Amino acid sequence: MSWRITMMAIASAVACTTATFALAADGVRSLAHTAGIHFGTAVNVEALGDAPYSRLLAREFDLVTPENAMKFSVIQPERGRFDFTQADALVAFAEAHAMQVNGHVLVWDQQLPDWLTQGHFSSDELKAILREHIQTVVARYRGRVASWDVAAEAVGEDGKPRETFWSRGIGPDYLALAFRWAHESDPQARLRYNDYGGEGAGAKSDGIYTLVADLRTHRVPIDAVGLQMHVSLNDAPRAEDVRINMKRLAALGLQTDITEMDVMLSMPASRAALRKQAVLYGAMLQACLAVPQCRSFSTWGATDRYSWIPEFFPGQDAALLFDADGRAKPAYYSVRRLLQHAGRGKAGRP
Ligand code: XIL
């Protein structure tokens, strides 16, 4: 399908699914709302023309993160030429379905355009490039994108600051600068640091804690920490450690979110594995529900049809709440049951 046709299909999906929005009350999103959290997913913008997919999104989720559409290489493919086609489509879809948008991602070491990584820029030039990028993107969606993943994956497995394209080019203060520029461009937006592998206990979790504590000490405008939660049945953190980690971040004045959960399974997935997966999703959701400052729970994709897992982890798949045909899996029912019984919701939620 050509890009033009895809965009037309997206426009009609936005229109059609608006008409069926009344059905949305049947999905998990309304249960999550009652429980006091947002329920989100990453969205593949190029697939929005797939009507069953976009209907499922509208029914189940009230928070969307563009899976790729707001990454640097997509938004600024050539220096100074910004392309908001996909990002605009995502934001329009979200608004048509009363969903919040989480912008993803402003400062990351991956999916950077060649003109940037292969150019030879001085520190001042790189600062100017990053500043222009952040200001242009955040200002465009001021008031329409509720939160931003300002920076991601800046801490190594050993807990020390990771050497990245940005740290090499600008120096260690690139993170503080990025948060400040984002805040200036939309003072209302909730600004987040997002990382993987530091959800529970351990060196990386401690490193992330130290990093964000330092940002807070220096009055950098950071509001939240995103815990990605890309896990398998063997390497998931203990839910109790996740809760404890959220609590210590809350003590710094930071909110938390589970931002990208998926649980990859070895294929073909057995019924026993799907049951264990359901338990794990439930345990992580429960950790979030137990901490008032945990505001949202998102999966990295809605259905296994569009999951990134099989491409990046050969032999693994079936990581999400819905199968490739949009049928709910045991994990979905586990999440649903928990939200149904989550009670009156969280104190203090706006
Ligand atoms: C992944 C996307 O899902 C893929 O389509 C893309 O090819 C690579 O990036 N952590 C993140 C996401 O924060 O941006 C990544 O998304 C998955 C890991």
Q: Render pLDDT for 117-128 as a digit per residue (tens, 0 to 9).
A: 999 999 999 999
Q: φ, ψ for residue 12 (rounded to 5)? A: -75, -30
Which of 264, 260, 256 minimizes the C-alpha distance to 312? 264
Give the C-alpha separation, 311 to 304, whole Å.
12
Which of 29, 60, 123 minimizes the C-alpha distance to 327? 60
Q: Using 50, 70 and 90 to split pLDDT, how confident is the model at 26?
A: confident
- 153 part of the active site: yes
Alpha helices in 40-147 (DSSP H): 51-60, 72-75, 85-96, 114-117, 123-140
**SS3 call for 131:** helix
Give the C-alpha separation, 121 to 128, whole Å.
10
Q: φ, ψ for residue 16 (rounded to 5)? A: -65, -45
Dihedral sign (CA 208, 224, 300, 110) = negative
| 308 CB within 6 A, ligand 1 | yes
Q: CB of 65 within 8 A of CB of 104?
A: yes
Give the model's pLDDT for residue 71.
Answer: 98
pLDDT tens for 179-225 read 999 999 999 999 999 999 999 999 999 999 999 999 999 999 999 99
Which of 297, 288, 174, 313 minimizes the C-alpha distance to 235? 313
Alpha helices in 118-259 (DSSP H): 123-140, 165-170, 174-185, 203-217, 239-251
46, 60, 153, 199: which is the annotated catalytic residue?
153
What DSSP designation does 152 have?
A: E
Which of 180, 115, 102 minimizes the C-alpha distance to 148? 102
Give the model's pLDDT for residue 265.
Answer: 98
- 260 part of the active site: yes
* Residue among 41, 43, 65, 67 whose CB has most ligand 1 atoms within 8 A, to mutate: 67
Q: How far is the CA of 229 from the centre of ligand 1 (A)?
A: 13
Q: How far is the CA of 67 from the centre of ligand 1 (A)?
A: 6
Give the model's pLDDT for residue 8.
Answer: 46
Give the C-alpha separation, 65 to 44, whole Å.
9
pLDDT tens for 312-331 read 999 999 999 999 999 999 99
Give the C-alpha separation, 307 to 318, whole Å.
8
- Mean of the per-residue pLDDT values of the chain: 93
Beta bridge partners of 225: 193, 256
Higher local confidence (pLDDT), 89 or 348: 89
| 135 CB within 6 A, ligand 1 | no
